[in-house]
A = this chain, B = another copy of it.
Amino acid sequence: MNDIGRMKVEELDTPVLLLDRDALERNISRMRDLAAKAGLKYRPHAKSHKSPVIAGMQLAAGAAGVCCAKLGEAEVMAASGVPDILITTEVVGRSKLMRLMAAARQSHVAVVADDERNIAELAGAAQTAGLRLDVLIEVDIGQGRCGVQPGPEAARLAQVVAGSRWLRFRGLQGYQGAIQMTAGFGDREAQVRQALGRLMETAELVRKSGIEVEVLTGGGTGSSIIDGALHGYTELQPGSYVFMDSKYRGIEWPGGATQPFETSLTVLGTVISRPAPDRAIVDVGLKAASSDHGPIAPVGLAGATYAFAGDEHGHVRFEGGRCPLAVGDRVTFVPSHCDTTVNLYDRYIVTKGGYVEDVWDIAARGRVQ
């Protein structure tokens, strides 16, 4: 093999966000297989990767479209040619409704709602834009965040949507993020059954009122295997499976197995100081890896743990106090929370077999509006 012109990963300046292409592709195939086996559609959450390239790979693997958490992400995906988008968070305010209509002219864009006045404003904006907008009612199935309570109020809002000439009622969204990382499979299954039950009962109520409920959408990477078996959702919304962060990685799958997705996303850092025998300081701090799910995990260093030490620094300490690292050594870390770590970077350095293969823009980074 000719190495001329190929850059080795260890030649990169750090901190740098690395994406292992083979692992990414295997993860995408695994979720495709899981959904295919369950006979369910899936709509991966693009808030995790914020990359039209990865969205394209997911679509090529049969995804029905993508989810976006924010309108700004949906704009990036629509502009990149993603044909079918669900915005999983309520879109509020006159300026955003106009932007929503512009995006809905480029791609098929559906949105969730949980408020009657917001629904009226969506209808007004759609009327002005001369289009018919797909709307799903968000139901709170246990997370205690957005969404109306399961039952009659959800059914009433479905009626409001269905009664508008400018809106099309598509179904219900119910997402319970709090249970996605429940480690034990049995516990998680019981929680998923309970949450999904609330959504299905509400769907039944809506149907009894004479309105078709075509879509029940929700779920995540952690619940995907259970959602696939229960057949409550018509469409799954997994996000983290493409990367698998350290917080998610250890959760159990049926039969005592570990979940099948592998780490594809890492942060590479460098030892910048060895000021004392028991510690190494790396150039990875709060601005290079998110801390909201706890410390990041060093890879391939027995007995090593990491602790954040400010915006630009981290400690790597070793069990027993003996630190084998020297200034200039590279250290690989698995993020504890991929979504918020990805949001710190402008690009993925895509690697294959220890070489840099490609660079992909994180085009929707920072698109919080």
A residues with CB within 8 A of B: 11, 13-16, 47, 69-70, 89-93, 95-96, 99, 114-115, 117-118, 140, 144-149, 177, 270-276, 279, 281, 283, 286-288, 290-292, 308-313, 315, 327-328, 339-340, 343-346, 366, 368-369
> B146 and A281: CB pair below 8 A?
yes
> A10 — nearest CB in chain B belongs to which residue?
B93
Q: Which 4 A-B pairs have the closest CB atoms?
A: A146-B273, A13-B369, A90-B272, A288-B368
Interface of A is mostly: loop
Would A274 and B369 count as touching, CB distance under 8 A? no
- Determine which of B89, B272, B290 lies in contact with A283 in the assembled complex, contact meaning CB atoms within 8 Å: B89
A287:B343 contact, CB within 8 angstroms: yes
Extra A-B contacts (15), CB below 8 Å, given A145-B273, A344-B366: A15-B368, A15-B369, A69-B311, A69-B312, A70-B312, A90-B273, A92-B272, A93-B328, A140-B275, A145-B281, A145-B309, A148-B275, A292-B292, A311-B343, A346-B366
Question: Which of chain B's residues has its CB closest to A269's CB?
Answer: B368
Cβ distance A177 to chain B, nearest Cβ, rounded Å: 6
The residue from B145, B275, B311, B315 contacting A149, defined by CB atoms under 8 A apart:
B275
